[in-house]
Amino acid sequence: MPGDVMKVWRNPEFVRHRRAELRTVRAITVGALVLVVCALVGLACWSSERELVESLRRASELYGTEAWRQRLAQAQQDLAGKTWMLFYKWLIGMQGAALTFWTLFSCAQSISGERDRKTWEFQRVTRLTPGEILIGKLLGEPVLVYFAALCAAPITLIAGLAGGLPFGTVLSVYVYLAMTSLFLGLGGMWLSTLLESRTRGVGLIGALGLYFVTVMMFQMRTVGLPGLAAFSPLMVFFGLIPSEESSLLSALPVLFGHTVPWLLMCVLLCGSFSAWLAVMLLRNLKRDYPEIRPLSRWQAVACAAFLNSLIYALLRPSPVFGSSWSADARSGWFHDARTLATFAVVMNGLILFLMGLATLTPQERLKIWRRTRATGVGSVFADDGLSWPWLGISATVAYALMVAGLLVWGHALPLERSTLQTAAVQLLVVLVFVTRDVLFLQWCMLTRLRQPVVKGFLYLCLYYAAAAVLATIGAVSSEAAGHWMAALLTPAQVFDTHRYGLAFPAATYVGLALQVGVIGVVLTAISGRLQRPMQAGAAA
C-alpha cells in the first residue's frame, strides 16, 4: 500500500500538476484563505444560534411562564453543541460543493484543453501508460481543491466531534464525498476524450448537465429505485448526518430486497460506474481521435447487462415494503409487474441507443471490415463491423434478465404470461427503431459531414419532432389516423397501457415492418458508401 501511494505521488503527470498548482506562495495563500473562511463561517453560526437564544430569553421575560423558562434553559444548554453542528454542516456543504464541482469541471477540460494547447500528442507518445495518464490527470487536475479540503479537514473533524457526531460518521462523510468526486472526475474526463479542441464549450455544457443530473438524483429516493439517490452529494445530509429532517425525508436504499447503508450504496454504485468509465478511458486515451470507440462489442453487451441488472437489484416494490417505509409510500413506486416491465423496456431503449453510440465503428476500420467481408474472411459479428447484430444480442440479454427479474420478484409483483408477451413486442419495436437510428448515425460517419455523430443526432431529433407534429395533425382529423401516424413513425404507440399479450393493433406491426424496410435501405446506403473506394481502385 505505501508503495502504491508513492507511485501515485511520483506519477509524472501528477507531479506536473502538483508543481504548477501548488507553488509555495499559492499553497500558503489558499491555506490562509481557507482558515479565514472557516473563522467567518464559525462566527456566523455562533451569531445565528446566539440570536435564537436571545429571542427565547425575550419571550421568557415577556410571558414569564415555566414552559418558556424551560425552553430557554434547554437552549442555553444546547447552544455549544448546536453551534458546532451548524458549523460542521456548513463546512461539509462547502467542501462537498467545491470538491464535486471543481473535480468535474477541471477533469472535463483535461484532455480537450491539451488538444486546444496542441500538447496532447506529446503526452500520447510518451512512455506513460494509459493508467498512469488517467491517475495523473484524475488526481492532478483538481489538486488545488484537494489541498483546500485537506486544510479544512482538521477544523471539520473537530466541529463534527464537538457537535456530537461519532468519529465513524465524520469519516464516512468524507469517504462518501471522495467516491462521488472521483466518479464525477472520471465522468468529466470521459466527456473530454470525446470532444475535439474546437468543441470545448460543448464539453463544459455537457459537464454542467452531468453535474446537475447527479445532484438531482437526490429526488430518486422517493421512487421505486431509491438507491440511485446515492449518486447525489446531497445524500450526505439526508443519509449520513443524523437529524430530524433526514429521518423524515429519507429511508435506507434497497439492494436485492435488503436495506443497506447509504455509504455502502454509494461505494457500490460510484465504484462500479467509475470502473466502467475507467475501462472506456484506458481503452481510448492513446488512440487517435477518429479511432476513439468507448467500448468493444462484448464490453457493450456486458455493460447493457449490468445496467439492466441494476433495475432489479435496486427495486423497491410497494407491496413488500410499503408498510415499513410509510414515509416514502408514494405514487412513484412499482405496483405491478406490467409497470416494471414497461419501465425496463423504456430504459432499454435508452441503454441500447447509448451502447450503439459507444460501438460506432470508425470509417477506416469499417472499410477494412467490408473488404475482408467481401473476400469471405470477415464475420458479421466482427468487432470492426456494423453494430446491429450486437444490439440484437444486447436486447436478447436484456429480455432474459427481465424474465429472470420478474420471476425473482414474483412474490411481490404477480407475473402473468401476457406481461412477458407484451414486453417482448415492446422491446422488439424499440430495438428496431434504435437499430435504425444507430445505423443512420453510422451512415453519417461515412459522409463528409463535420462532427457527423452530433449532426446526425440533431437530424434524428428533427425527425421525431416532425413525427410528433404529423401524429398530432392526424389526431385532429381522427383518432385512428393519429394512432397510425404514431405507430408508423415512432415507437410510442407500442406503450399503450390498454394492450395485453400480443393483441396490438395492425398499425403496430405495419410500422414494425416499415422500419425493418428502412433498416434495409440504410444498410444498402452504407454498403454503397463502403464500396466506392473499392470500385475506384478497381477502375484505376
Long-range contacts of 286-290 (CB under 8 A, 24+ apart): 286/124, 286/130, 286/133, 289/115, 289/196, 290/362, 290/363, 290/364
pLDDT at 533: 55
Q: What is the pLDDT along the chain (540 residues), one digit of tens a residue?
A: 566 667 788 888 888 988 988 899 999 999 999 999 999 999 999 988 888 888 877 877 777 677 777 777 777 777 888 889 999 999 999 999 999 999 998 998 888 888 878 888 888 888 888 899 999 999 999 999 999 999 999 999 999 999 888 999 999 999 999 999 999 999 999 988 877 655 556 667 777 888 888 888 888 887 788 889 899 988 888 778 776 555 545 578 888 888 899 999 999 999 999 999 999 999 988 888 778 888 889 999 999 999 999 999 998 876 444 444 444 444 456 788 888 999 999 999 999 999 998 888 888 888 888 888 777 766 788 888 888 999 999 999 999 999 999 988 888 888 888 889 999 999 999 999 999 999 999 999 888 887 788 889 999 999 999 999 998 888 888 888 888 888 899 998 888 777 677 778 888 899 999 999 999 999 999 988 887 654 443 333
In a domain, 310, yes or no: yes
Q: How far apart are CA 443 and CA 441, in angstroms?
A: 5
Classify residue 245 by burial, with Cβ atoms within 10 Å: 0-12, 13-18, 19+: exposed
Grid cell for residue 296: 468493444
In a domain, 261, yes or no: no
Classify residue 331 by burial, with Cβ atoms within 10 Å: 0-12, 13-18, 19+: exposed
* CA distances to 70, 355, 419 from 387, in Å: 72, 9, 29
Classify residue 498 by burial, with Cβ atoms within 10 Å: 0-12, 13-18, 19+: exposed
pLDDT at 320: 43
In a domain, 31, yes or no: no
pLDDT at 325: 42
In a domain, 80, yes or no: no
* CA distances to 343, 471, 490 from 512, in Å: 21, 17, 10
- Measured from the Cβ of residue 332, the count of other Cβ atoms closer than 10 Å reads 14
pTM of the model: 0.86
What's the structural domain count of the chain?
1
In a domain, 308, yes or no: yes
Q: Count CA atoms closer than 13 A to 280's CA, side-chain side.
A: 25
Q: How far apart are CA 239 and CA 285, in angstroms?
A: 36
Residue 40: strand, helix, or coil: helix
Side chain identity at 353, as an amino acid letter?
Answer: F
pLDDT at 201: 66
Side chain identity at 533, as an amino acid letter?
Answer: P
Note down the domain range covering 346.
293-540
State how beta strands 258-259 and 254-255 pair: antiparallel
In a domain, 49, yes or no: no
In a domain, 142, yes or no: no
**Buried b / exposed e across 71-101, counting CB within 10 Å, b at 16+?**
ebeebeeeeeebbbbbbbbbbbebbbebbbb
In a domain, 38, yes or no: no
Q: How far apart are CA 103 and CA 488, in angstroms?
A: 45
